[in-house]
Chain A
Amino acid sequence: MSATNYPKLTLLVMVLLAVLPPLFYFTGQPFYLDLATRLTILAIAAVSLNLILGYSGLVSFGHAAYIGLGAYAVGIPGYHAIYGGLESWGLASTSGWLHFPLAMLIGAIFALITGIVCLRTKGVYFIMITMAFAQMVYYAIVSIKTYGGDDGLTIDVRSEFPGVSLDDPLQLFGVSYVVLVAVMLLVRMMVNSRFGMVLRGAKGNNERMVMMGYNTYRYQLTAYVISGALAALSGALLGNFTTFISPEMMDWTRSGELMFMVILGGVATTVGPVLGAVAFILIEEVLSTFTIYWQLPFGLLLMGVVLYSQGGLANILGQWRARRALRDASQGGAAPEHKL
């Protein structure tokens, strides 16, 4: 009764992800470690989006806003630690113990406020409204000149934790990886719990769930808030990774990319978002080495995926298994007869 899972595939992907990047780093190719770090951070955001998109059926096209909010939750205190101001609020600090919880708190609050409005709507309205709210955050941040406006915060901020130096690319990767694993486990656990089953039921047939006595709105709002907090966490990591924090991080096109990662990788699977992030980043990298116009084949690829595939990469495995089972059954296999 658990969520669709491909334990061997998941293990393989996560082991490769743990082992290869440090290998590249130690053999003098730090570029690939950086790539892996970015990929891991985006995977965290993708996993958080999968919770509401894949498992709950809530198509949020504004998830990048949380990444941006998380990044600025690192950048703004860092800025004030250097240039002063906001000390009385306790917000001038480079301490990671402030940055990361603050990021998650802001993500959760924004998700709560916008979720209350968005979740009253359905379908296309929901998609557009989440997009609009994300753009609202973008415009709001851009209009605050102190923090760089359009250009973003050009300071190189690092969240300080005792014993860990996020300045060191290897350690930053390590921390991101651990967070990814933790978030994946958390989401997997939630999805199999009572709470998760209600969400999945509501995705399948909301009216039925309501008739069973569930106020599905409340469950969805809770999931929405959790998802926002987790995405903001990935944003805090991103803020540490990049050398400057830009409002572009929350542009609606980023949200679209995140959605593609989830859908490409396979919705409602544990490893899907990670696969999607890997595929997305790798394709981006490979294509851009060939031409500066890489977005053209990329866009065509995305369109092709939507037009011709179902269920994404992870579920291709599932479909293959299902076909094999059918073949076995038709060859006199053990498919039991059910008479009603």
Chain B
Amino acid sequence: MDYALFVMQVLNGLQLGLLLFLVASGLTLVFGILDFVNLAHASLYMVGALVCASLTLVLGNFVWALLLAIPVTALVGWTVERLVARRLYGRDHLDQVLATFGLILVLTTLAHLIWGPQGISVPLPSWLKGQLAFSDTLIFPIYRLVIIGAGLLAALGLYVLVTHTRLGMLIRAGASNRQMVSALGVNIERLFAIVFSLGAVLAGLAGMLVAPITEASIGMGNGIIITAFVVIIVGGIGSMKGAFIAAMLIGLIDTLGRAFLDGVFKLFMSSDAAENSAPAVSAMLIYIIMALVLAFRPKGLFPPKVR
């Protein structure tokens, strides 16, 4: 087994895990506090990426574009909350799912109108383009390390926010008892708007970080939203800790599975059989894991306490 290859795939897995965490944390935050299921969360991921891409082309600098795109995404999130989400609080989750499904169509078409059908490639500045060589065979692109760093930073920031700030306290209180918080005179509407925008920023940030690798395009959210759902189901809907652990787990399992499953299969199957079945099984791996987790814990690994 190629040691260097393994380490690189682990790093890839961590990178995927952190990106998944960014997306999933926004979803779970919004669900946990606002009791709102937002299918269009992935659209915010896409919007963040596209806005950042455009700004990079205009400003000529990826880092400035990213920093500027964050408040823009927050604004988009805030708008969506005011116009759509607000009308759906307290309604049946099914209604929320259907309405945000319609919202996806609207946002995707708007993006199509503004940015066109083609993807936009996002050029990286030269200092982020290179590769880091840990050894002869262990080479890893710098940018992916940056994503891991940024992801960890964001996760840390979220942790500090939720546990050490007043906003975080309100978030945790709102998660367990909305009416109480409101009765204490806190402006619930403003709190919800802030939380929603925060969720949008997290998703958007993930999109911005991934865009230089995959291109910013209007279809980019489709794949990640379901995986984000799997993450929050496994982690427990509404739990940040669950989202983090599940995201890392799933990021690693998915990446390592795709890379090494055929090798594992070859240990006890014919080479042909392994090569035919491995891609399909590795594609299904995270869902099988999800099913297994649910068999023993129907509410995920770390479900938050019932309201």
Direct contact between the two chains A and B in their complex (CB within 8 A): yes
Interface of A toward B, CB cutoff 8 Å: 59, 61, 114, 117, 120-121, 123-125, 127-129, 131-133, 135-136, 139-140, 142-146, 251-253, 256, 259-260, 263, 293, 295-296, 298-303, 306-307
Q: A139 to B257, alpha carbons, bound, how many Å?
A: 14
Q: Is chain A's interface secondary structure helix, strand, loop, or mixed overall?
A: helix
In the complex, chain B residues 3-36 whose Cβ is within 8 Å of any chain A Cβ? 31
CB pair B98 A117 closer than 8 Å: no
From known contacts A128-B229, A135-B226, A295-B109, infer whether A303 and B97 are also in contact, taking CB-CB under 8 Å.
no
Q: Is B279 an interface residue (CB 8 A)?
A: yes
Q: A260 to B232, alpha carbons, bound, how many Å?
A: 25
Q: A295-B106, A295-B109 are in contact. List 8 more A-B contacts (CB 8 A).
A: A117-B295, A125-B299, A132-B226, A145-B279, A295-B108, A299-B105, A303-B103, A303-B106
B108, B109, B222, B284 pick with most chain A CB within 10 angstroms: B109
A-B residue pairs in contact (CB < 8 Å), sample of 27: A124-B37, A125-B233, A125-B237, A127-B37, A128-B229, A132-B226, A132-B229, A139-B283, A140-B283, A142-B283, A143-B282, A144-B276, A144-B280, A256-B101, A263-B98, A293-B112, A293-B113, A296-B113, A299-B103, A299-B106, A300-B102, A302-B98, A302-B105, A303-B84, A306-B95, A306-B99, A307-B99
CB pair B102 A140 closer than 8 Å: no
From known contacts A125-B298, A256-B101, infer whether A131 and B93 are also in contact, taking CB-CB under 8 Å.
no
Residues of B within 8 A of A129 (CB): 233, 290, 294
Residues of A within 8 A of B282 (CB): 143
CB pair B105 A298 closer than 8 Å: yes
Q: A259 to B92, alpha carbons, bound, how many Å?
A: 15
Q: A142 to B101, alpha carbons, bound, how many Å?
A: 24
Residues of B within 8 A of A121 (CB): 294, 298-299
Residues of A within 8 A of B284 (CB): 136, 139-140
Return A296 CB to nearest CB of chain B, in Å. 4
Residues of A within 8 A of B294 (CB): 117, 120-121, 129
Q: A260 to B95, alpha carbons, bound, how many Å?
A: 11
Q: A121 to B229, alpha carbons, bound, how many Å?
A: 15
- Digitize B272-304: 1 where CB-to-A-CB distance is under 8 Å, 0 elsewhere: 000010011011100100110011001100000
Q: A129 to B290, alpha carbons, bound, how many Å?
A: 9
Residues of A within 8 A of B110 (CB): 296
- Digitize B214-242: 1 where CB-to-A-CB distance is under 8 Å, 0 elsewhere: 00000000100010011011000100000
From known contacts A123-B93, A306-B95, A306-B98, infer whether A136 and B105 are also in contact, taking CB-CB under 8 Å.
no
Q: A-B pairs with the 10 shortest C-beta distances? A: A299-B105, A302-B102, A136-B287, A303-B102, A299-B106, A296-B109, A139-B283, A143-B279, A306-B99, A135-B226
From known contacts A263-B98, A296-B105, infer whether A143 and B290 are also in contact, taking CB-CB under 8 Å.
no
Residues of A within 8 A of B226 (CB): 131-132, 135, 252
In the complex, chain B residues 183-236 whose Cβ is within 8 Å of any chain A Cβ? 222, 226, 229-230, 232-233
Q: Which of B93, B98, B106 has a CB less than 8 Å from the CB of A256? A: B98
Q: Is B87 an interface residue (CB 8 A)?
A: yes
In the complex, chain B residues 89-124 whose Cβ is within 8 Å of any chain A Cβ? 93-95, 97-99, 101-106, 108-110, 112-113
CB pair B31 A124 closer than 8 Å: yes
- Digitize B252-282: 1 where CB-to-A-CB distance is under 8 Å, 0 elsewhere: 0000000000000000000000001001101
Residues of A within 8 A of B103 (CB): 299, 303
